[in-house]
Structure formats: structure tokens, C-alpha cells
Amino acid sequence: MRKFENVNARNEASVKMSLNMLADKNTKVEDYRKAFDNLGRELGVLLASDSADVAADEIMLVCASEDADWLAKGVENGLGKGKTPLSVFWSTRSVVYNDEGEKLEISPIVKSYEEPVKNCRLLIVVKSIISSSCVVKTQLTRLMGKFNPERIVILAPVMYKDGMPNLMKEFPKAVSNRFEFLTFAVDEDRTPAGEVIPGIGGMVYPRLGLGDMNAKNSYIPQMVLERL
């Protein structure tokens, strides 16, 4: 079952159409990209309404490499503040087992593009879907050693019902108490293989036209190239 959040008369048609495009496994690559861009823009507009006092150079926008050119770019445009400082991370994903035999997902960072920010008041972490906590946990763990933001907004078009509490448990309350979650859809179901349904229609890399994990880690987002 899916529950909608932050959907109102202004954005309902646009948001639901884009969410349906993500969930539809027959959506073409360009339309899939456009759906993320649109949802990012709509989420950015929502965040802008209570971030008017924060300047662009006081914001750090954080994302995985595959989310940069469409979802994160849409968020930046929706905020309407111009270019914000940016951190982009390329990572892999694997499964390890602890001493008790429990399965753990990890997402080590293999390379990064990180811009400086003197006074980070608002840290925005952008993710295509919050399902497990491993990717965002790794990114936040790295960044919290550098910044002490007043607000930490974790923003994704779709979240799994357990994604939010699971992520909060990974951090001390001094950090997790600053978490704010902004989404349009919370999904409650998974397939036996673990895919969130309706979710975003499967693995995001190939659906964005970036290939498998190795191929997407060779891709340099345009959002990064234009800043180099």
C-alpha cells in the first residue's frame, strides 16, 4: 500500500503523474529522467517555503552520482537560490555478515566531488528512494565530521515505511534529532527479493540509462562537469 504525503492541490497532478512514470517499468529512459527532475523540483519548492532565510552558500546539497543530473538538479532549481555547494558520491553496494551471522548492507564510497562551504546551516541529502539506510548513512557519517548544520533534510520522492526509523537508529540523538524527512510517497510493501513496490520501478541505474553499478561509477554527472 502507498500513502501520499505533501501532495496538495497545486502539485497533485504533476507529482502523481511522475510517481506513476517511475513505477512503470515500461517508461523510457528520457521520461524516467524527466520524472525525477520534476519530482526534485517539486520537493525543492516545498523545502524553499521554510528555508527562505538560508542563503545558497549556507546550503550543502548531497547526492549519489546517479541522482545528480536529474533529481538533485531538480531540487536545486526548485529551491530557487541558484547554485548551492555540492557533494556527489560514487559508491558500491555489498552484503557482509557480522559475528552473529546477521546480514548487513554496506555502501563504501569509491570517489567523491566535494565543494567547500564556510557555514553549513542546511544539509540536504537527496536520494531516489529511501529503502535501506546504508547509502545515506555512509554519506552522512562522512559529512558530519566536516559540518555541524542546524538542519539535516533527507529528501526522496519515495520512501519505504521502515527507511526513516532505520536511518535514525544509525546515529546518536544529537544528530538524528535534527533529521527532517521530505517525501511524496511512503510504500509499505516489498517483493520477496526486497524490491519496494510500487517504489521507483526497480534498480535506478539502468532505468536512468547509466548501466550497471560499474558503469554508473564511470559516469561523471553534468552537474559536476559544469563546476569543474
pLDDT-derived band at 132 (thresholds 50, 70, 90) equals confident
Query: Is it the case that residue 96 has pLDDT exceeding 60?
Result: no
pLDDT digits (tens, 9 = 90+) for 2-17: 999 999 989 999 999 9
Is there a contact between 86 and 54 (Cβ–Cβ < 8 Å)? no
The pLDDT of residue 100 is 62
Mean of per-residue pLDDT scores for the chain: 93
* Closest of 95, 68, 79 to residue 46, by C-alpha: 79
Res 104: pLDDT: 61
Task: Report pLDDT for 38.
Answer: 98
Asked if 121 contacts 50 with a C-beta cutoff of 8 angstroms, the reply is no
Q: Flag whether pLDDT at 97 surpasses 60.
A: no
Is the model's pLDDT at 121 over the cut of 60?
yes
- Looking only at the bridges linking them, the beta strands covering 129-130 and 158-160 are parallel
Question: pLDDT above 90 covers what percent of the chain?
Answer: 85
**Prediction pTM value:** 0.93
Is the pLDDT score of 131 beyond 60? yes
**94 band by pLDDT with thresholds 50, 70 and 90:** low
CB of 75 closer than 8 Å to CB of 50? no
For residues 151 and 122, the answer to whether their CB atoms sit within 8 Å is yes
Q: What is the mean pLDDT of residues 37-42?
A: 98
CA dihedral of 15, 6, 39, 111, whole degrees rounded to 10? -150
What percentage of the chain carries pLDDT values higher than 70? 94
Range 2-225: architecture per CATH: 3-Layer(aba) Sandwich (3.40)
Secondary structure E strands in 86-187 = 86-91, 94-97, 103-106, 109-114, 122-126, 129-130, 151-155, 158-160, 179-182, 185-187
As a whole number, mean pLDDT of residues 116-121 equals 94
d(CA 43, CA 146): 26
pLDDT digits (tens, 9 = 90+) for 148-197: 999 999 999 999 999 999 999 999 999 999 999 999 999 999 999 889 99
Retrieve residue 68's grid coordinates: 545528480
